[in-house]
Structure 1
Amino acid sequence: MLLPAARGPLTTALVAALRGDDPSAVPAPPLGVAEPLTDDDTQLALWICFELHYRGFDDVADGWEWEPALISLRRDLESGLLDAVRAAVVVPLETAPLPERLRRLVAADDGPPLARYLQRRGTRDQFLEFVIHRSVYHLKEADPHTWGIPRLAGRAKAALVEIQADEYGGGNAARMHAELFRATMRGLGLDDTYGRYVDAVPAITLANNNLMSVFGLRRELRGALAGHLAAFEMTSSAPNRRYSQGLRRLGGDAATRRFYDEHVTADALHEQLALYDLCASLADDEPELAEDIVFGAAAALHLGNLSAEQMLESWRAHVSSLRDVGAAATSPIADVS
Structure 2
Amino acid sequence: MTATVPERDRAQPALPGARGPLSAGLLATLVEPHRPAPDVDGVRGTHPYGEDLHLALYMLYELHYRGFSGVAEDREWDPALMPLRQALEERFLGALRADVPTGRAAGTAFDELLVEPTDQRESVAHYLEREGEPWQIEEYAALRSLYHLKEADPHAWVIPRLRGRAKAGMVAIEYDEFGAGRAEDAHAQLFADLLSDLGLETHYGYYLDVAPAPALAVVNVMTLFGLRRSLRGALVGHFACVEVTSSPGSRRLAAAMRRTGSGPAAERFYAEHVEADAVHEQVVRREVIGGLLADEPYLEADVAFGADATVHLENLLGTHLLGAWRIGESALLQLARGAE
Q: TM-score, normalised by structure 1?
A: 0.92
Question: Which one of 86, 96, 115 corresponds to residue 107 of structure 1?
Answer: 115
Q: 1:101 to 1:303 in 2, by over 3 A?
A: closer
> Corresponding residue for 1:86?
97
Q: 8 Å contact 1:118–1:246 — kept in the other structure?
A: yes
> Corresponding residue for 2:129?
119
Question: Which one of 257, 264, 272 corresponds to residue 282 of structure 2?
Answer: 272
* SS class of match (1:25): coil
Distance 1:79 1:33 in 2: 13
Q: 8 Å contact 1:99–1:276 — kept in the other structure?
A: no
Q: 1:325 to 1:43 in 2, by over 3 A?
A: closer
Q: 8 Å contact 1:224–1:292 — kept in the other structure?
A: yes
1:205-253 Cα deviation digits (max 9, x unpaired): 1111111100011000000000111111110001111111111111122
* SS class of match (1:243): helix
> How many pairs align?
322
Distance 2:131 2:116 in 1: 25
Does residue 1:11 correspond to 2:19, yes or no? no
> Corresponding residue for 1:333?
none
| Structure 2 segments unaligned to the other structure (5+ residues) | 1-12
After TM superposition, give the deviation of residue 101 of structure 1 in Å. Answer: 4.5
| Structure 1 segments unaligned to the other structure (5+ residues) | 328-337
Q: 1:119 to 1:226 in 2, by over 3 A?
A: same
Greater shift after overlay, 225-234 or 254-263? 254-263
Distance 2:112 2:197 in 1: 37
Does residue 1:297 correspond to 2:307, yes or no? yes
1:89-148 Cα deviation digits (max 9, x unpaired): 014645xxx445422355386672110110110000100011011000101111111110
* SS class of match (1:26): coil
Q: Kindly indicate whether structure 1 or structure 2 has the higher relative contact order, using CA contacts under 8 Å at least 6 residues apart.
A: 2
Q: 8 Å contact 2:187–2:269 — kept in the other structure?
A: yes
Q: 8 Å contact 2:254–2:270 — kept in the other structure?
A: yes
Q: TM-score, normalised by structure 2?
A: 0.91
Q: 1:69 to 1:226 in 2, by over 3 A?
A: same
> Corresponding residue for 2:64?
53
Distance 1:13 1:325 in 2: 19
Aligned residues: CA RMSD: 1.7
Question: Which one of 225, 233, 236 corresponds to residue 226 of structure 1?
Answer: 236
Q: 8 Å contact 1:216–1:222 — kept in the other structure?
A: yes
